[in-house]
Structures are given as C-alpha cells and as structure tokens.
Amino acid sequence: MLARVRALGITHLALASLYHAGFFLYPHNPRRKTHLLEDGVAYFHPDPECYEPNGIAPRRAMLCRETDWFATIHAAARKAGLGVIAWTVVLHNTPLGLAHPEATVQNAYGDCYPHALSPGHPASVAYARGLVCDLIRNQSSTDILLEAVNYRRRAHGGAWVSGHHHERDGVHLRDLEQRLLDLSFNAADMEHGAEAGVDVERLRRQVREHLDRYLDEAPDLPAGLCATIDDYRDAVPALVDYERTLAASEHRLLSALRAEADGGEARLIGAESPLVDVVSLGVYGEPADRAAALAARQRAALRPHQSLMAVIRLGFNSPGMGTPISSATQLAEMCTAVVHGGADMLAFYNYAEAPQKAVNWIGPALASLGREAADRAAKLKIDSNGGTK
C-alpha cells in the first residue's frame, strides 16, 4: 500500500493513532468488506508516564496488544519516503467517558454524554496533554492532526456520519432544543462559568424549564416559546456569557496542547484557530467553484504562521451527500480549484472507504497540477522575454 500511494504522488499518510469506533464498508479491502472497529482505542503503545496516576489514559487496541502497529507503519512509511501525520481523536471516546463520567459533557438534567469528554474538565485536559506528549516523545510524531478537541454534541454521529449508538428521538426537536440539550453543565464547566460572573445554576434552571415545556406539550408547540437559538439568547442573555466561557475552555485546552507541541517541535493540524499550524478545511460534497471560494475565504483568515490544507472527500456518492466526485476529470478540477483558492496542501479522505477507482484518480489529478504549474512557468518565461510584466 505504501508503494502504491507513493506512486500516486502522495507525500504523507494521516495514520490513526487513537480513534473512535465506526462500522465501515471497505470497497477494496482484500480480506473483508465490513468491519466494526474497537471503540476509542490507541493503535500505539501508550506510555503511562505521560498520564496522571489514576487519571484518564488511553486504552491499547486489542489489535496492537503485542505489536505497536502505529510505530511499525510509521517506520515503514519513512523508509518509503512518506511523512506521517498522527490522526488523533481526542475527546470523542465512549469507553473513557463511561469509565470517567465526571469528566464528560452533562446536559441541564445532569445526564452524561459518555462519548464526549468535556474540554473544560481538568482530567480531560491532562489526558489530552498526555496524548500529545506521548506521540511526540515515544512515536516521534512531528505532525499531529487533532480531531474532537471541542464540546461534542448530544448526537454521537452527525449530519453525514450516523452513530453506532443508535440515537433515536421519539419527539421531534427543533434546532433550538437540540442546541440546549448540547450545552454542557459539567461541574467544572459550571465552575468556569461562575468564575466569569455567570449565574450558571439559574441558567440551567431556565434551560430545563424551556425543555420541560417543549417536551410536556409535544407534539403541540407551546405558545410563546422561543423559536430559534438567537431568540433564546435575546431572552436569556446569560446564555451568551456562558457560551463564551465554554469557548474559553476550548481555547485553554488547545493552548495546553500548543505548549506540548512547542516543547516537542511538532506541528498541530486542526480546525480554524490561531493555535494550530495547519488549518484543515473540509470541502466535502461541495462543487469545485464553491470549494475554491471556501478555500479563498479561509486563506484570507490565516495568520502569517499558518498553512491551509484542503480535505477532499472521495467516494460517498449516495444521494444527499452533496456533489460527488465521479471521475478523474472532476477530481482534477477540484484539486485545481482549491489550489487556486489558496490551499497549500491537499488531503484525500480516505484510503479505506473510497472506491479503488477514486484512489487511482489521485495520480492524474496531482499530475495535472504539475502540468499546469509548468505551463504557467513557461508562459511567464515567454511574457518576460516579451517585456510583459
């Protein structure tokens, strides 16, 4: 596989170091076509010294009980001339949430969301710091892609990723009610809010009263109830202040990871933040022109020290998944569009789930970028000879 992707023009692998579960369809796997991953496990051998005694620590995957496959593949990739990015899912971890419910997101009723460690809880912060330290110190990771370093929502899955927790709602929830149920009232989060001057206990009661009215009168809609999250923020200004404290907790966590990365001279890759070195922009399901516009907008927002990585989704061509990439020509057009929009790097999601045809399109797409660059250089040379700026 390493030789194959290297021949396509790929320069780096984003290799899972710690990942959540998924029940995946593998269209070109020679051994199996479907597989449910073990949930929330590390594919490297964690070093206990990087984590607090009796605190939260990663669980080693059964697959890697004897062999540190992350280290093995990392070494093989380097030998093949490929860099490795440690793709690390940080706070989305059901087994760890079940083992440490006090550190998870908890809603206004006190219900625990086991898949979601809270960015504001000190045990979660210590665990996240330990992960980055471990990857740098013991796995020689110089590039770490951070996923799920924010507050996770109630739904384990998302708009295009369905969770294997079988979430189900017998009552329809509007966007407002969903958002109110997503709010974390973990004890540590409430303490941060109180320190910022928010009457968090009163806010929690107000959130519960709204949800109780909505649920008690379902399927009817109660008269006079706020309709949108903006309406609710206007009616309950404390929510705006509390949301600000939650955002501050996310920033503090990322700052802690930034300090670990700086100490180990590693780059952080992640969602838009001044604290990452490479901003990852997903253009999943977007047409090429819109993808170019998104890249240009993100490019304009970058800090001087940052680069932009556009992530292009291969496969996923079911109805409702947005604009699919269904040919080598379309992939080449997408690559050209986001590079013209300002992307410094291209990432392709992902090897295991994409059709084999789509993986093979990467080579011609990257080659077309090279030809275009050569053509532009030749044109510049001609223009220069002709005295044209």
Which of 380 and 1 is assigned the larger pLDDT? 1
Instruction: Determine contact, residues 242/200, Cβ cutoff 8 Å.
Output: yes
What's the rounded Cα separation, in Å, for the pair 92 and 115? Answer: 5
Is residue 348 pLDDT above 70, yes or no?
Answer: yes
pLDDT class of 167 with cuts at 50, 70, 90: confident
Q: Residue 201 pLDDT more than 90?
A: yes
In this structure, how many other beta carbons lie within 10 angstroms of the beta carbon of residue 251?
15
Structure tokens at 204: 């929690």
Across the chain, where does the E strand assignment appear?
12-19, 23-25, 34-36, 41-42, 59-60, 83-89, 104-106, 112-117, 143-147, 267-270, 278-282, 307-313, 345-349
pLDDT of residue 379: 61
Res 161: pLDDT: 72
The reported pLDDT for the residue numbered 165 is 76
Query: CA–CA separation, 147 vs 6, rounded Å?
Result: 25
Nearest by Cα to 1 from 76, 113, 105: 76
Task: Specify the pLDDT at position 372.
Answer: 78
Q: What is the pLDDT of residue 389?
A: 29
**What is the model's pLDDT at position 245?**
98
In this prediction, residue 324 carries a pLDDT of: 94
Tens-place pLDDT, residues 84-102: 999 999 999 999 999 999 9
In the predicted model, is pLDDT for residue 388 greater than 50? no
Percent of the chain with pLDDT over 70: 95
Report the alpha-carbon distance of residue 158 to residue 148 in Å, rounded. Answer: 13
The answer, yes or no, to whether residue 160 has pLDDT greater than 80, is no
Residue 183 is predicted with a pLDDT of: 98
**pLDDT confidence bin for 376, thresholds 50/70/90:** low
Surface-to-core class of residue 170, CB atoms within 10 Å of its CB (0-12 exposed, 13-18 middle, 19+ buried): exposed
Residue type, 172: H
**pLDDT reported for residue 386:** 46
Residue 361 has pLDDT above 50, yes or no: yes
With 80 as the cut, is the pLDDT of residue 163 above it? Answer: no
- pLDDT reading at 162 higher than 80: no
Percentage, residues of the chain above pLDDT 90: 89
The pLDDT of residue 258 is: 97
Task: Kindly indicate whether the domain formed by 277-389 is annotated with CATH number 3.30.750.
Answer: yes
Q: Is the pLDDT of residue 387 over 60?
A: no
Alpha carbon distance 64, 68 (integer Å) = 5
Residue 380, pLDDT score: 57
Residue 29's pLDDT band (cuts 50, 70, 90) = very high
Q: Is 228 helix (H, G, I), strand (E, B) or coil?
A: coil
CATH topology of domain 2-276: TIM Barrel (3.20.20)
What are the residue boundaries of the structural domains of the chain, listed by start?
A: 2-276, 277-389
43: nearest Cα among 66, 78, 16: 16
